[in-house]
């Protein structure tokens, strides 16, 4: 993120704009403040058992949640944007929606991968396992991640751009509609295991803890916004570069065919053979 802030308006070959640079600076500041809040100002989660007097809780592992939970929420937001944009692709059929959907899916998948990794790292000390099969959110997020891995794989295939846009939109919509089913099925499934575990709700909530979590949401939101904006612009440029390529290819095709030569090679018939004026080639 830092790279944009350093770029002055001198070069215009960039996806940055004055406003996006401001956003970048604010985002970096927010990340720094979040770091201070999460590691310096907040206390570890230590609770005293009412009867035995034993210390328990998540201790310092709770600090992982200040990044994990906001990322998870923003993952769902990004995929939500992707779903809305996918509807736009199918209804409006314009590149704008397609580029937006692709950007949201890619950024969302980066976030989703981080959510899974941070969740796993947090789960190891707290749940005493890297992976908890019975957890609804964990499993749902994993399936979502796998679905959008497929989505991005589809995006990487060479295909007619318009067809690819629609195929990808269908995949995104099916994924999003399937998610409630995944969620519900894992939830029922989990009831079978009745796994005892810590959740956010059981945290010793202090004002500062809550504020830090809230600030985490803001920060993750800013990061998401910055990444989406720039990913969109990259996609937009890719689209423009390809369109530009098409225009160039048309010109090239016109230049490379010597009409007289072609007519000679195909035979003498044809020229002036009653195309009744409608056959006039365009400029």
CA distance 61 to 40: 14
Q: Which is nearer to other proteins, 51 or 56 (CB)?
A: 56
Number of Cβ within 10 Å of residue 36's Cβ equals 11
86-145 binders of other proteins (CB under 8 A): 90, 96, 100, 103-104, 107, 110, 113-114, 117-118, 121-122, 124-125, 143
Cα 156 to chain centroid distance, Å, stands at 15
Candidates 53-61, 201-209, 210-218 — which segment interacts with other proteins by CB under 8 A?
Answer: 53-61
Using the rule CB under 8 A, is 259 a contact of other proteins? yes
Cα 171 to chain centroid distance, Å, stands at 15
Query: Cα–Cα–Cα angle for 38, 61, 137, nearest 5°?
Result: 100
Q: Which of 147, 209, 212, 215 binds other proteins (CB under 8 A)?
A: 147
Give the DSSP letter string of 23-57.
HHHHHHHHHHHHHHIIIIISPPEEEE-TTT--EEE
Using the rule CB under 8 A, is 26 a contact of other proteins? no
Give the DSSP letter string of 163-211.
HHHHHHHHHHHHHHHHHHHHHHHHHHHHHHH------GGGS---HHHHH
Using the rule CB under 8 A, is 263 a contact of other proteins? yes
Q: Which is nearer to other proteins, 159 or 202 (CB)?
A: 159
Using the rule CB under 8 A, is 42 a contact of other proteins? no
Q: Which is nearer to other proteins, 153 or 210 (CB)?
A: 153
Return the half-sphere exposure (C-beta side, CA atoms, 13 A cut-off) of residue 275.
Answer: 9
Q: Which of 47, 137, 166, 204 binds other proteins (CB under 8 A)?
A: 166
181-220 binders of other proteins (CB under 8 A): 181-182, 184-186, 188-189, 192
Instruction: State the nearest-atom distance from the C-beta of 135 to other proteins, in Å.
Output: 14
Candidates 165-173, 195-203, 204-212 — which segment interacts with other proteins by CB under 8 A?
Answer: 165-173
Candidates 197-205, 210-218, 234-242 — which segment interacts with other proteins by CB under 8 A?
Answer: 234-242
């Amino acid at each position: 993120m830092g790279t944009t802030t350093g770029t002055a308006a001198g070069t215009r070959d960039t996806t940055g704009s004055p406003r996006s640079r401001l956003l970048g600076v604010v985002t970096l500041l927010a990340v720094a403040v979040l770091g201070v809040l999460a590691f310096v100002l907040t206390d570890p989660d230590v609770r005293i058992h009412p009867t035995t007097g034993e210390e328990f809780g998540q201790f310092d592992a709770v600090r992982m949640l200040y990044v994990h939970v906001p990322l998870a929420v923003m993952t769902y937001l990004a995929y939500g944007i992707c779903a809305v944009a996918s509807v736009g692709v199918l209804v409006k059929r314009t590149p704008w929606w397609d580029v937006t959907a692709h950007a949201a899916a890619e950024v969302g998948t980066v976030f989703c991968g981080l959510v899974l990794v941070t969740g796993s790292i947090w789960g190891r000390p707290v749940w005493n396992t890297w992976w908890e099969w019975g957890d609804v959110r964990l499993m749902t997020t994993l399936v979502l991640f796998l679905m959008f891995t497929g989505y991005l794989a589809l995006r990487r295939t060479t295909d007619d751009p318009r067809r690819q846009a629609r195929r990808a939109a269908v995949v995104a919509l099916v994924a999003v509609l399937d998610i409630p089913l995944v969620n519900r099925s894992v939830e029922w499934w989990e009831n079978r295991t009745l796994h005892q575990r810590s959740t956010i709700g059981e945290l010793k909530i202090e004002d500062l803890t809550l504020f830090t979590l809230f600030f985490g949401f803001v920060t993750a939101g800013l990061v998401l916004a910055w990444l989406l904006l720039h990913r969109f612009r990259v996609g937009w440029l890719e689209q423009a570069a390809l369109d530009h390529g098409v225009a160039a290819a048309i010109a090239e095709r016109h230049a490379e065919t010597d009409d007289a030569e072609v007519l000679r090679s195909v035979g003498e018939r044809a020229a002036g053979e009653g195309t009744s004026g409608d056959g006039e080639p365009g400029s």
